[in-house]
Amino acid sequence: MISWQEFLWQQEEPDLMRDRLCIGSSSPTHLDCRIEGADFRRQPATAKDEIVVCAYNVERGLRLDDQLRAFGGDDGMPPPDVLLINEADRGCTRSGDRNVAREYARALGMCYVYGVEFIELPRWWGPGGSVRGRCEHGNAIVSRFPLGNVRLIRHRRTRSWQSTVQRILHVGEPRLGGRVALAADVRIGERTLRVYSVHFESGDRGRGSSSGDAYREAQAREVIEDASDLQRGVVIGGDMNVSRYPRLREDDASGEPTTSALAGAGYEDAHEALAGSERVTTSSGAAMDLIFGRGVRFAEAGVGPSGVWGGVSDHLPAWARVSL
């Protein structure tokens, strides 16, 4: 049995230009980075039998203020107790040199942990705009309940984002690092729920073992393996980049290897009861943002309405009521 160890919160405001989380790397894809976290909860949350988990790709935090306003208003979905965040910038010029995950926690009155996926390298242009200096980009878990036993899992199978041409010309997405999963235990009264914020490999280029599907499946299996010995509920959520999933699930979902790996390991798709058109989270018509669970029950699930969320990120948030 794993004992509970609450995260050692770092309340002092970091200097994002000087206090970097990554100190080096053993290779271009495997970074050595510490985890950041702080607690902005104003009072302890009351334990309950059902919580709301939300998976959200915040698109670097380019429209962070609009996102926070949406969460604070009539956003068309229940208020989240746990947010599994992808693509959160830390100290990047393209997103205003802000610490996106920390600002989420502060604005919502929650605690957070953050792990670096990539070190973004300078570029004149690319997705999200220019980056004038090195900065950090990654996954976060934001929660109204205490977080502990936090770990950053750097996937063994990950595609290299190194490109000599992009790095020299300062265009595209030159990066160091690779895909990660951020794991934490959420303490809800006397119960503990394990959550993973995942961001599986993107793209469909390559064939065989080098295809996007092969990378995503391998990364999903690493998370499944990490949770295999746990005797408590587990929720895995985030941008899984499974662009073919909603079209396949109406006929034969077994053709999509990443979600098939999760289902084969006993994980339930929170949004399984919804029609493919009701669970789309991207403008491409794909349901990339998914929530799967084992040892829990999903009482209800949905996607944030595009009328509220469509203009603040290139992904819509996916949410689920999780009965413990």
What confidence tens digit (pLDDT) does each residue in 206-221 have?
555 568 899 999 999 9
Mean per-residue pLDDT of the chain: 91
> How far apart are the C-alpha atoms of 86 and 83, rounded to whole Å?
10
Over residues 245-256, the pLDDT tens digits come to: 755 454 444 578
Statement: residue 262 has pLDDT above 70: yes
Q: Strands, DSSP E only, in the chain?
A: 22-25, 31-33, 36-39, 50-60, 82-92, 98-99, 111-120, 135-143, 147-154, 175-177, 180-188, 191-199, 234-239, 268-269, 289-294, 297-303, 318-323
Confidence of residue 244 (pLDDT cuts 50, 70, 90): confident
Q: Which two tokens stand for residue 147?
A: 């977080």
First-to-last CA distance in the chain?
19
Closest-CA residue to 139 (of 77, 65, 69, 223):
223
* Top-confidence residue, 257 or 203: 257
Contacts with 13 (C-beta within 8 Å, 6 or more apart), sequence order? none
The per-residue pLDDT for 208 is 56
Could you give all domains of the chain from N- to C-terminal order, each with its CATH number?
Answer: 22-323 (3.60.10.10)
The amino acid that residue 311 corresponds to is G
Over residues 74-133, the pLDDT tens digits come to: 778 999 999 999 999 999 999 999 999 999 999 999 999 999 999 998 887 777 788 888
> How far apart are the C-alpha atoms of 45 and 77, rounded to whole Å?
20
Statement: residue 169 has pLDDT above 60: no
Q: Model pTM?
A: 0.94
| Helix (H), strand (E) at residue 205 | none
User: Would you say 189 and 218 are in contact if contact means Cβ atoms under 8 Å apart?
Assistant: no
Confidence of residue 194 (pLDDT cuts 50, 70, 90): very high
Q: What is the mean pLDDT of residues 6-26?
A: 91
HSE-CB at 135 with a 13 A cutoff on CA atoms is 26
